[in-house]
Chains A and B, each alone.
Chain A
Amino acid sequence: MKQTLPSLPFQTGWYSFGLPGYRSCRGTYERYPYESLPPIAQEQLTGQLQWLVPLNARIDEAMQPYRLTDEQEAAQITEWEDGLKSLVASAKHLGLSLPEAYLRLMSSVELRNRIPSCTDCSFTISQLAFCPGDREKGYVLRFLHDQQDCVIWHLYLSASGEQCVLASHVYLDQVYTNPEAFGLLTEDEAIKHTWMCAPSFEAFLYRFWMENVLFFALIQKEPLTEEQKQYLSTRSFGGSGNQR
């Protein structure tokens, strides 16, 4: 099934980093044209995250200092679980379907730890909020942050089953309720700082995982898997987006 982006008032673009030898980057991130992204085999996006295999030992070791300690993990587990329960209840009341891949990932520390990040991004549990630019029927759910909040990723959902991932420079879930945090940003301004970057949660996650694993593999000069080679071979990686 070909996944398409919903009709929303946002531009499209993929925020990511350089891939040594394949794609340049003029800052920590660059916004690459959505149309230029390598295709993803849709049949593997089953909601089961079966493609999210354990990291190889070298990448796993490289990520270890950036993960929560067992003690930190234990300290936040109750809050995380309570947050997820509330989110599921809220989604149910609103007639929204949380993607299976989202629920699976957010319910498992082990799965989350299989996604490395070369820019120290981390997953978070937040609550649903009205989507700027689509407040009548759309909701956003913030789920991933860059360490310095350069980019914040949100899942978009609607009661009619539409889904996509939005990358933004602002917390979209706080545009209406905490505008002071962003210099009294208006809804229109928030829309201008937001890009649709994937047609589904799992499509986003797959690409995010793929590019991060590739980054480490290329840096560490590891042999690439067939899947990784195919990803890199499907287009010429020449960044032409805007610097961030």
Chain B
Amino acid sequence: METPTLEAIEARKLLLSGQAPAHLRVNGDLDLSHEVSLTVLPEGLNVGRLVLDHCPALKALPAGLHCISLSACGTPLTELPDDLHVTSRLDLSDCKLLTHVPKGFAVDTLILRGCTALEELPEQMHVFVLDMSGCINVQRFPTSGPEQMARLNAQGCTRLTALPSWLKRVGQLDVSGCARLHELPEGLHVVTWLDLAHTPLRQLPASLQGVSLRWRGVAVNERIVFHPETITTQQVLEERNVERRRVLLERLGYERFLAETQARVLHRDRDAGGERRLLYVPLQNDEPLVCLEVRCPSTGRRYLIRVPPTMRQCHQAAAWIAGFDNPEHYRPLVET
């Protein structure tokens, strides 16, 4: 039987009408994003680049689908067909219901960003770029996988406890926000950079000594990451790069910075925890640092919370922290 071949514009009409034949071959790329009526695609569809982003009724991909790249962000897909063939790039960002990727799945770039229902990655996957950021339910990697990757983005994988032993070389490694990742494997080589902001990592294995480090995307050195106690207020004030200064400030701690720079008190009042103060420090070529100092009514502990520089009153800042744009609407009955 002859395989039907259509230009993208004709194929699009047919696909949206639900009349497209099986094994349809499409010349060119197809963008069917945001098509609310799209529920099914024909078996064996063969297309260059296929975009299915935010098609709310598309719950499954057809068997035998072939494409160079496929983007199905924000769709209600729960699993991928075993014979799905995507050569270059598969983007499944924010597929919140996705629970299964087939064993041995192979694609150059696999994006699983924000796939919050996914608990396991496939065994024997062949990927060169893996973005699993925000996959908050993935606890561990499979037992086998590629020895090298151009990029592994595990940002915000808060349940992840270890990186895989099979991974030997990775170009860019982002483990920022992996709150349970206490160590990186000895023998792992990072080619380009390693982002380790907000992790419990306290040192690097020998194979990573001297590697280029990042803190939430900002280039930093080992001292800033592992020895924040050596950062001085003066260094923060003298740092000309705004992004780097913010990292220095965060690592130094707002509390110490405000104390050592003798912050100006913009406003003070009282709440259930006692006195609270709105503190202000001007920064060169940057917005000023404004923080609300509060005490917890239960524990008595003091906290400093950075707020927008436009804040002028403690109540206004507390309302902003609680998510109120209008401070008039923020009237807590009890604070604990």
Contact = CB atoms under 8 A, between A and B. Distances in A.
Interface of A: 75, 79, 82-83, 85-90, 92-94, 127-130, 135-136, 139, 173, 176-177, 179, 184, 186-187
A93 B171 contact: no
B277 interface: no
A129 B171 contact: yes
Given A83-B212, A130-B150, A179 B191 contact: no
A85 B213 CA distance: 11
Given A130-B150, A135-B150, A139-B191, A86 B108 contact: no
A231 to B, nearest CB: 37
Contacts of B171: 129-130, 176-177
Contacts of A83: 212, 219
Given A176-B128, A176-B129, A90 B209 contact: no
B108 A127 contact: no
A176 B221 CA distance: 25
A177 B129 contact: yes
Given A83-B212, A127-B191, A179-B109, A93 B207 contact: yes
24 contacts: A75-B240, A79-B241, A82-B219, A82-B221, A83-B212, A85-B210, A86-B210, A90-B210, A90-B212, A93-B189, A93-B208, A127-B212, A130-B128, A130-B148, A135-B150, A176-B109, A176-B128, A177-B171, A177-B172, A177-B192, A179-B89, A184-B49, A186-B68, A186-B108
- Judged by DSSP, the binding face of A is helix
Contacts of A173: 192
A127 B212 CA distance: 8
Which 5 pairs of residues, A with B, have the shortest CB-CB distance?
Answer: A89-B210, A86-B212, A176-B150, A127-B192, A177-B151
Interface residues of B, number: 31
A53 B277 CA distance: 62
Contacts of A82: 212, 219, 221
Contacts of A90: 189-192, 210-212
Contact of B189 (A75, A86, A94, A186): A94
B211 A89 contact: yes
B88 interface: yes
A128 B88 CA distance: 22
B192 to A, nearest CB: 4
A220 B169 CA distance: 51
Nearest to B153: A177
Contacts of B330: none
Residue in A83, A136, A179 with the greatest tally of chain B CB atoms within 10 Å = A179
Contact of A184 (B69, B150, B169, B212): B69
B189 A87 contact: no
B191 A129 contact: yes
Contacts of B148: 130, 135-136
Contact of A87 (B69, B172, B209, B212): B212
A79 B219 contact: yes
A130 B172 CA distance: 10
B192 A176 contact: no
Nearest to A185: B88
A128 B108 contact: no
Contact of B128 (A89, A92, A135): A135
Contacts of B207: 93
A93 B211 contact: yes
B320 interface: no
A129 B69 CA distance: 23
Interface string B31-74: 00000000000000000010000000000000000001100000
B166 interface: no
Nearest to A87: B212
Contacts of B108: 176, 186-187
A150 B75 CA distance: 38
Contacts of A176: 108-109, 128-129, 150-151, 171
